[in-house]
Amino acid sequence: MPDDMARPLIRDRGEAGGSRHLEASMSDSPVIGIMGTGDFSRSLARRLVSSGYQVVVGSRNPKRSEDLFPEEVEVTSQVEAASQAALMFVAVFPEHHSTLLELKPSLAGKTLVDVSNGLRINHDGPSNAEQLADMFPDSDVVKGFNTISAWALQRGPRDASRQIFLCSNSSKAKSSVMQLCRRMGFVPVDMGLLSSSLEIENLPLSLFPSWRIPILCTLFLFILFYLYNFLRDVLQPYVTAGKSVFYKMPIETVNVTLPSVALVMLALVYLPGLCAAFFQLWSGTKYNRFPNWLDRWLTCRKQFGLCSFLCAALHAIYSLSLPMRKSTRFKLLLAVRQMKEGDEVWVEEEVWRMELYVSAGIMALGLLSLLAVTSLPSVANSVNWREFTFIQLIRWPSD
């Protein structure tokens, strides 16, 4: 939100006696400091002010940066900001953390929230938060807010994920940041000690980590069934009878392949539940941990189901597009010509088979759509457990 839009809104809120109430509530709120004047810092400052906090921003050039922030935010030097705030957001690049070492006496005993991210996934460590903790051993470092964008901070949690992952070696510092998150409208998620900061920093850089196996499985099944249908319906007629039907490859062969993939993917949704039940019966208890492969399979069932729904939906679209093909219109013209010549074109058995096939396909797509919609968190949270298990047909012991 531009400054010329944000400032009148806050000033209008203070009219008719409201300003005194706002100033009183602001004076009772703790002072939150921010190191840095980038996009994230400006969005964070606006969000903190709208949540009722006093905000002070530390900058190396306060005069040049003060016009970038709302009027309620105090933009001052880094030393002055560090001395005023009890909780400080470090919103500078990790490679510039060393420039804050001169503030070590002013930041001693205070909480530092590291919001930085890396440029690539870091598997070896240490994390940026751990390095910051080594630089400031007398301060309590909390890792968080790195998975929230500047846009989400400006617009509020309704336009983005509400969860903010936090970790720290100080339970007191982490509790204070969690309270701040709730006041801002977000949902804090406790990830434990600061050793979990590497995992939190890798979250924004991970590309669909829970979707990797389902997508690869879908692609593998699609290639497998497509090759089989190609060999049976396209290549075999060409080799045995010299009939060229390669025009079937883009649409008809793909359309025949998609339902097979959808059915197998749907089976892979419910199969791990059977494996989990068998494992519990075999071990004689439900408290033993599942094997790693089964545990990963169970956590990916929603993704398997949505991939199955995608294949089924594509199959429906491809089926609707079949009559628009030029080859289909050519066959229709041949049928019309045969009718004019007196040949029998209407075959009762084939007509009934097609009608039943289309009807069953529509019903199956409707049921699969119901399962897919029910798996969404917003829908699943609105039904009770019995209703959810009724829709899903079977309640697996692993749920």
One DSSP character per residue, 180-197 reads HHHHHT-EEEE--SGGGH
Query: What is the band of 229 on the pLDDT scale with cuts at 50, 70, 90?
Result: very high
pLDDT tens-digit profile of 309-339? 999 999 999 988 877 766 666 666 666 666 6
Contact 54, 42 (CB under 8 A): no
What confidence score (pLDDT) does residue 40 get? 94
Instruction: Choose one of 153, 178, 205: the last residue of a domain.
Output: 205
| Beta-bridge partner residues of 142 | 113, 168
Regarding whether 233 and 149 lie in a shared domain, the answer is no
State the CATH number of the domain containing residue 157: 3.40.50.720
Query: What is the band of 25 on the pLDDT scale with cuts at 50, 70, 90?
Result: very low
Instruction: Choose one of 154, 174, 205: the last residue of a domain.
Output: 205
Average of per-residue pLDDT across 350-365: 82
Average of per-residue pLDDT across 243-262: 92
**Would 134 be classed as within a structural domain?**
yes
pLDDT greater than 70 at residue 228: yes
What confidence score (pLDDT) does residue 348 get? 76
pLDDT tens-digit profile of 121-155? 888 889 999 999 999 999 999 999 999 888 888 77
Phi, psi of 54 (to 5 degrees): -85, 135
pLDDT greater than 50 at residue 388: yes
Query: What is the band of 391 on the pLDDT scale with cuts at 50, 70, 90?
Result: confident
**Would 397 be classed as within a structural domain?**
no
Q: Is the peptide bond before 105 cis (omega within 30 degrees of 0)?
A: no
Structure tokens of 131? 């390095």
Amino acid at 88: M
Regarding whether 295 and 146 lie in a shared domain, the answer is no
| % of the chain with per-residue pLDDT over 70 | 83
Q: Please, what is the average pLDDT of the chain?
A: 84
Q: Which tops the pLDDT comparison, 32 or 22?
A: 32
Regarding whether 128 and 192 lie in a shared domain, the answer is yes
Residues recorded for the chain: 399
Average of per-residue pLDDT across 293-312: 92
Regarding whether 305 and 331 lie in a shared domain, the answer is yes
Regarding whether 187 and 324 lie in a shared domain, the answer is no
Average of per-residue pLDDT across 22-36: 71
Regarding whether 223 and 131 lie in a shared domain, the answer is no
Pairwise CA distance, residues 13 & 1, whole Å: 17
Phi, psi of 259 (to 5 degrees): -65, -35
**Would 336 be classed as within a structural domain?**
yes
Regarding whether 329 and 186 lie in a shared domain, the answer is no
pLDDT greater than 70 at residue 78: yes
How do 163-168 and 140-143 pair as beta strands?
antiparallel
What confidence score (pLDDT) does residue 62 get? 92
**Would 349 be classed as within a structural domain?**
yes
Lowest-confidence segment of 16-25, 163-172, 244-253 by average pLDDT: 16-25
19: containing domain: 3-205
Average of per-residue pLDDT across 342-349: 67
What confidence score (pLDDT) does residue 342 get? 62
pLDDT greater than 50 at residue 165: yes
Task: Please report where in the chains the tokens 């995992």 appear, as a residue.
Answer: 199
Contact 50, 65 (CB under 8 A): no
* In 231-291, alpha helices (H): 236-241, 252-283
What confidence score (pLDDT) does residue 210 get? 83
**Would 398 be classed as within a structural domain?**
no
Regarding whether 280 and 164 lie in a shared domain, the answer is no
Regarding whether 119 and 51 lie in a shared domain, the answer is yes
**Would 399 be classed as within a structural domain?**
no
pLDDT greater than 60 at residue 10: no
What confidence score (pLDDT) does residue 200 get? 95
Regarding whether 276 and 189 lie in a shared domain, the answer is no
Regarding whether 250 and 186 lie in a shared domain, the answer is no
Average of per-residue pLDDT across 54-73: 92
**Would 15 be classed as within a structural domain?**
yes
Query: What is the band of 9 on the pLDDT scale with cuts at 50, 70, 90?
Result: very low
pLDDT greater than 60 at residue 27: no
| Beta-bridge partner residues of 168 | 142
Say how many domains are in the chain.
2
What confidence score (pLDDT) does residue 30 get? 83
Lowest-confidence segment of 105-109, 114-118, 374-378, 383-387 by average pLDDT: 374-378
Regarding whether 234 and 193 lie in a shared domain, the answer is no
**Would 335 be classed as within a structural domain?**
yes
How do 187-190 and 111-114 pair as beta strands?
unpaired
Phi, psi of 89 (to 5 degrees): -85, 125
DSSP type of residue 208: -
What confidence score (pLDDT) does residue 331 get? 67
The 8 Å CB, 24+ separation contacts for 380-386 are none
Contact 88, 112 (CB under 8 A): yes
Instruction: Choose one of 205, 240, 266: the last residue of a domain.
Output: 205
Instruction: Report the SS3 class of residue 210.
Output: helix
